Structure formats: structure tokens, C-alpha cells
Amino acid sequence: MTIMSYLGAIGAAQREAMDADSRVIIMGEDVEANVYGTMGGGKSRADKGDFLQMYGTNRIRNTPISEEVMVGAAAGAAMTGLRPIVDLSYSTFLYMAMDQFINQVAKSRYMFGGQASLPVVFRSAMFYGLSTAAHHSDRPYPMFMNMPGLKIMVPASPTDAKGLLRTAIDMDDPVMSFEACLLWGMKEDVQDGEFRIPFGVARIVRQGTDVTLVAISSAVQQAILAAQKLEAEGISVEIIDPRTLVPFDSDAVLNSVARTGRLVIADPANRTCGAAAEISAIVAEQAFDCLKAPIMRVTTPDTHIPFSPALEKQLYPNAEKIADAVRKVTKTKPQGH
């Protein structure tokens, strides 16, 4: 076991993949200088583990600010023998390349009758919660969930980030990785050596009997805090982290709801048509008779992200809002009221 940060774990996965297969390349803005901490050892080019030193400029490529051609070229390269990892910096920048994501990446395998394979990974950071305002703070994974052909990972721990990314690089489908900046510094013991976590398999973060709490990305940590508080109030919460939204492990959620009868979903995306909405629909359709209470969603409201921390901090799902939702579905009152 080694203690790794979330970013360090991503770097470790990338390094393993680069070592294992010369067809893997990394392209994106500022990748040569390791600006985001996923491309090497430390602060100096001369540091051991610096990717540019190890792999050179053929396989580590700084791009101009050109999201459309970055995404499309990575797709075309993937169709013709490379396995690119594209660092798109921040998720709010993805929109510059929507046509390429939707009309090329998502559709090519299908439209061309299976002739195209796209082993490409698109990574971006959801830079919310850190006073960067509307053009940096989006959590757009639900938009991409709606378009078949894209796989989506939302790792919430260093272990998951490492294991899922390795799987993503090895698979022949295009993958979008959404990484919450609030998790960048999170540290934990990560098992040594190469390991892969399959897509479509949720992680049971905490076992419980009274309520199923599905939490996505940064909401997982908040869910854990909420569950600890609720335990003291006599409510036993089961936390499920789906880890991947496409494919989504609906069986894990349905099996849990069959036991608990109650579902709360904590999703940092906007409320309308968020991942929480889809999960609610799945459970309502397939486990209606198990439900003892309505499904509740704890999401960011349908608003853009304002700059002032006096405003922003109150918008995302947090431990208190999640705990309130659990109390509602168990019809209990918070202690001290």
C-alpha cells in the first residue's frame, strides 16, 4: 500500500499505461509542464518521474487551445492505431468540442457499422466549489449520459481514480472521465501494483439497513459525513458510489433499495435531468413496490454558479442537506429539534 492523492493516483495510472503500451499518448494544454500534477514526479523537469523526460515530445504533446481539433484528432488517431488520453483541463471547456464529442466520438462506431474502434479517454476537471464562477464550475456529465456511445466515469477516491482510469485506457470504447477538483487533494492508501476496476460495478462505501444513499463524485465524502451523524441518531445508511455513470450499476442500487425501501440520491450536477433524475426513474420503474417513501434527490439547484463564496458554498449537496433528506424519507426529526 502507498498513500496517494487523487491526482497522484491518476498520474500513476497514466504512467503505468504509458509504460505498458507505446500506442498510449497524452495530449492537452499544459501537459508538458505538469501543471495539474498528473504528469510526473514533482516541480522540476529534472525530477524523477517527469513524463516529458520519460516519454518525450512524440508521446507527450502540448496542444494549442483548440478543443474541437483536440477531441476530433484524438478520435481519428484512436481509429487508426493510437490510444490517446486527452487532458481537456476543465469540464466547462468541453462544450467547445460538442460536435466532435457527439457527432464523431459517440456515433462513429455505430454509423459505420462497427468499422471504427475508438480507444480514447477524455479527462476533464470539474472546477466547482473553488470560487471560479460560471465558466469553470459546470458538472456536465448528465448531458453526455444522454448520448449513447460515450462511457462515463466519476471517481470519488484515489483508488477508484487509478483503477478506473487504467480500465478506461485499456478499453476500446471512448471514455469521459469527470474529476472533481474538490477531490484532488484527497489521500488514501492505494494498493501497490497494477489493478483495474471494471466499469458498471458500484462501490458499497458503507453498509446500512434503513436508507439507500447513492452519492456521486464529491457528494460521496459529504454522504459519509452525513451517515456518521445519522448513525448517532439511530438511522443506518447504506452508501453506494456508482463510480461509473455509463455503464451504470443499477443492480447494486435496486438490490439495496429492495432491502432498505428508501432512496436518497446526492448528485452535484444541476437538478433538471441530472444523474439523480435518471437513477430515480430507474428505481421508480423497477423497484416501485419496494419503496416505503418517495425518492429524494439532493442536487445543485437549477442555477449557474455565482462567484461570491457567500453564495456558492450554499448550492452544492453537503452533509447537512443530505442528512435532512434522509430524515425526510425516514420521517424522523434531527436531534435537538
Partner 1 sequence: MTIPNDLLLEMQRRMLRIRYFDERASKMVKRGEIPGTVHTSIGQEAQVVGATMALGDGDYMTGNHRSHGHPIGKGAALGPLMAELVGKAWGVCQGKGGSMHLADFKVGSLGESGIVGSSIPIATGAALSSKVLGNGKVSLAFFGDGAANQGCLYEAMNLSSVWKLPIVFLCENNQYALSTPAHTVTAGVLANRAAGFDMPGVRVEDGQSVLTVYDAVRTAVDRARAGQGPSFVEVVTYRFNEHSEGLRLAVDYRDADQKAAWLKRDPIKLFRAHMLEQGVADEATLAGLEAEVMAEVDASVQFANDSPYPELSVAFKDIYTEAIGAAQ
The residues binding partner 1 (CB under 8 A) are 23, 25, 58-59, 61, 63-64, 66, 68-82, 99-100, 103-104, 108-117, 148-149, 151, 171-173, 200, 246-248, 250
**Residues facing 188 on adjacent strands:** 4
Residues 6+ apart with CB under 8 A from 318: 222
Rounded least distance, CB 246 to partner 1, Å: 7
Minimum CB separation of residue 116 from partner 1 in Å reads 7
Q: Which is nearer to partner 1, 113 or 193 (CB)?
A: 113
Contacts of 8 (CB under 8 A, 6+ apart): 37, 158
The CA distances from residue 302 to 276, 316, 324, in Å, are 13, 11, 19
Distance in Å, CB of 282 to partner 1, minimum: 10
Copy the grid coordinates of residue 111. Answer: 454509423
Q: What is the C-alpha to C-alpha distance for residues 322 and 268, in angstroms, rounded to an integer?
A: 11
Least distance in angstroms from the C-beta of 124 to partner 1? 18
Nearer to partner 1, 181 or 240 (CB): 240
The answer to whether the bond into 247 is cis (omega within 30° of 0) is: yes
Per DSSP, helices labelled H in 193-298 are 219-232, 250-260, 275-286
Q: Which is nearer to partner 1, 68 or 188 (CB)?
A: 68
* Residue 61 in grid coordinates: 504533446
Active-site residue list: 136
Strands 263-270 and 211-215 turn out to be parallel
Quote the least distance from Cβ 270 to partner 1, whole Å.
25
Q: CA of 280: how far to CAs of 60, 254, 273, 283, 294, in Å?
A: 42, 11, 10, 5, 10
Nearer to partner 1, 70 or 224 (CB): 70
> How far apart are the C-alpha atoms of 72 and 104, rounded to whole Å?
7
